Amino acid sequence: MVYKEVKEPIDEGWGHVVSEVVLDETLADGLDGLEAFSHVLVLYWMHRAAEAEPVRMRRRPQGRADMPEVGIFAQRARHRPNPIGVTAVRLLRREKNRLMVQGLDAINGTPVVDVKPYVPQFDSVEAPTTPTWVNQLMERYF
Amino acid sequence: MVYKEVKEPIDEGWGHVVSEVVLDETLADGLDGLEAFSHVLVLYWMHRAAEAEPVRMRRRPQGRADMPEVGIFAQRARHRPNPIGVTAVRLLRREKNRLMVQGLDAINGTPVVDVKPYVPQFDSVEAPTTPTWVNQLMERYF
């Protein structure tokens, strides 16, 4: 579960948001050694999107008129067939079954489905390229 | 679903493996525009791990004696509470509901739960650090 001050989905300014990720106490030992990593991937279930209207296969990112209409798998929108989010965040601190992380774009109460160490060999790619609308969209997001 | 020649889990040499990721035909439009990205994240359900013995909270990565015993959330092992894998892969080609990708470390027949564009603002981090055992482990993986 994610605990934080952000209660509603927002479309910008996540970069400095600090969240607490709290796992079930029975899973606490599973976090042993994670503190040796600077960053982690948090996988979470975007429960509010899951309860919303049916998923459209194509849409404009953030519903913005200045964005092209693209497929749901070509964007990071929440309203997707399986509303699982993945974000790479900085790990600030671990205490038993609790993690303090920075930059997680998930609202308060979001169920966490997995935590993984950020491993460059899996998660970093060389010279990724994206269409220009992505930079426009991301300008204020983090 | 992932289609490829690799039928059994392996612990090394995934880097040049080319896979076909095939979504349900009803989802084909959802891939529109994805071809403008050089890389994608593939999220998949590690079904063979899901059917295996109960998850241990701590283990040695790949069962190797030269690895430290660390928590399951401090490693990318398949036998985790929610066996969802995430890998950043190169997108070679898209054709309707089919993607050709390179470097996906999932075996033939693996169910795919989501495809996302690789967006550096979400997925790349600055100067990630990992414990030294990770580099030892990854030496031959990709």
Each residue of B89-116: pLDDT tens digit?
999 999 999 999 999 988 899 999 999 9
**ipTM computed for the complex:** 0.91
Query: Do B30 and A81 make contact, defined as CB atoms within 8 angstroms?
Result: yes
**Mean pLDDT for the stretch of residues A62-80:** 95
% of chain A with per-residue pLDDT over 70: 94
CA distance A117 to chain B (A): 5
Query: Does residue A4 carry a pLDDT above 80?
Result: no
Interface test with B, best of A72, A126, A135, A136 (most B CBs within 10 A): A72
CA distance B98 to chain A (A): 12
* Nearest beta carbon to residue B88 from set A81, A123, A142: A123
Q: In B, which residues are within 8 Å of A75 by CB distance?
A: 33, 117
How many CB contacts within 8 angstroms connect chain A with chain B? 197
CA distance B51 to chain A (A): 18
- What tokens were used for B114? 């989501």
- Confidence class of residue A12 from pLDDT cuts 50, 70 and 90? low
The pLDDT score that the predictor gives to residue B12 is: 66
- CA-nearest of A39, A33, A87, A77 to A57 is A77
The pLDDT score that the predictor gives to residue A3 is: 83
Q: In A, which residues are within 8 Å of B121 by CB distance?
A: 138, 141-142
Q: In A, which residues are within 8 Å of B22 by CB distance?
A: none
The pLDDT score that the predictor gives to residue A7 is: 66
Spatial distance between the Cα atoms of A76 and B81, rounded to a whole number of angstroms = 25
3-state SS, residue A72: helix
**What average pLDDT does chain B have?**
91
Interface test with A, best of B72, B113, B129, B133 (most A CBs within 10 A): B72
Query: Does residue A104 carry a pLDDT above 80?
Result: yes
Interface test with B, best of A23, A55, A91, A123 (most B CBs within 10 A): A123
**Mean pLDDT for the stretch of residues B57-84:** 95
The pLDDT score that the predictor gives to residue A11 is: 65
Quickly count: other Cβ atoms within 10 Å of residue B25's Cβ.
10
Instruction: Go through B84-119 and write b for each residue having 16 or more CB atoms within 10 A of its CB, e for each that does not.
Output: bbbbbbbbeebeebebbbebbbbbeebebebbbbbb
Each residue of B14-40: pLDDT tens digit?
777 899 999 999 999 999 999 999 999
Whether the model pTM is above 0.80: yes
Q: In A, which residues are within 8 Å of B117 by CB distance?
A: 73-76, 130, 134
**Closest chain A CA to residue B130:** A37
**Mean pLDDT for the stretch of residues A36-59:** 90
